[in-house]
Amino acid sequence: MIDLHTHTFLSDGELSPFELVYTVKYNGYVAVAITDHVDYSNMELIIPGVVKAAKILMENYDILVLPGVELTYIPPKLIKYIVIECRNLGSKVVVVHGETVSETVPVGTNICAIRACVDILAHPGYLSEDEAILAAENNVKIEITTRRGHNVTNKKIAEMAISKKAKLVLNTDMHTSKQFLTKELIAKTLLNAGLSTDYYSVMRKNSLEIVNVHGYSL
């Protein structure tokens, strides 16, 4: 299993990076991205530590660990600039906290994230036709999430993304030790999103594209 959206106690998660990685490795993951919430106030504090942790973890555990970020509540016009800064600091996976219906996120976040060619647009709420088309053109992956609250629009997101040939990935937005992927959770999430359980192989392939483009392989 591959999960490219997780959180540690460096932002609002419960586990340390080392606890999180060992937890998911123990439960069958082959790759994970640590994507704590980042903005201009903390990116220079969090990213170097995650980069260092990822290197040590990969040297000692048989699991691929990608340092990343989830850009959260960034003024939309600034997203393209902070993406560049985060990549320069060492983030391999850049996720943007999309316009979920469960929170108040700045309008325009989705389209500006897609224009900035981020890796993943997380829980985008109601993905528009224009957003889906541009995501397909820019190869920005659209997230189907297992996370309660954010997942209520999964079916609408899947329908729009697939109709416009935008690629979907499945992530947990993990914050606790109980939220990791399992076969049962994958099947339930896909069923509720109107997708067959076989579709996970497509989503895993899409996640692997992100892994590969950043110079890693499985």
Show pLDDT as tens, one digit a residue, over the chain (218 residues): 999 999 999 999 999 999 999 999 999 999 999 999 999 999 999 999 999 999 999 999 999 999 999 999 999 999 999 999 999 999 999 999 999 999 999 999 999 999 999 999 999 999 999 999 999 999 999 999 999 999 999 999 999 999 999 999 999 999 999 999 999 999 999 999 999 999 999 999 999 999 999 888 88
Residue 217 CA neighbour count, 13 Å, CB half: 0
CA dist 202 and 77 (Å) reads 32
Asked whether the whole model's pTM tops 0.95, one would answer yes
CA dist 76 and 89 (Å) reads 20
The pLDDT of residue 119: 98
The pLDDT of residue 214: 87
Q: Cα-Cα-Cα-Cα dihedral of 11, 16, 22, 25, to 10°?
A: 0
CA dist 49 and 55 (Å) reads 10
Domains of the chain: 2-213 (3.20.20.140)
CA dist 71 and 40 (Å) reads 9
Sheet of 141-145, strands arranged across: 2-6, 31-38, 64-71, 93-97, 120-122, 141-145, 168-171
The pLDDT of residue 218: 84
Inter-residue contact 177 to 16 (CB < 8 Å): no
Inter-residue contact 14 to 177 (CB < 8 Å): yes
Residue with tokens 């490795």: 25
The pLDDT of residue 195: 98
CA dist 106 and 65 (Å) reads 30
Residue with tokens 């040590």: 56
Length of the chain: 218
The pLDDT of residue 144: 98
CA torsion sign, 6 to 46 to 72 to 77?
negative
Inter-residue contact 35 to 93 (CB < 8 Å): yes
CA dist 74 and 23 (Å) reads 30
